[in-house]
Amino acid sequence: MTSNQLNKVSKFLSFVLRHKPDAIGLDYLSENEVWLTKQVPAELICI
């Protein structure tokens, strides 16, 4: 994946996670948290 593609994916995920997580099927844990591991394998999530 190119740097430009990574940047676009990053911006898309940032927008979706902040404003519309349900639009891509993410579940809310609380008002400020979403459940990622149903859609994204845990080993791919780097914090």
- Give the range of the structural domain holding residue 40, as residue numbers without chain letter: 3-44
Predicted local distance difference test score (pLDDT) of residue 18: 83
Q: What is the pLDDT of residue 1?
A: 78
pLDDT at 47 over 60: no
What would the pLDDT profile of 3-46 be if each residue is shown by its tens digit?
A: 888 899 899 888 888 888 778 777 666 767 766 656 666 666 66
CA distance 34 to 45: 13
Contact 26, 35 (CB under 8 A): yes
- pLDDT for the residue 45: 63
How many separate domains does the chain show? 1
- Dihedrals phi, psi of 30, to nearest 5 degrees: -155, -170
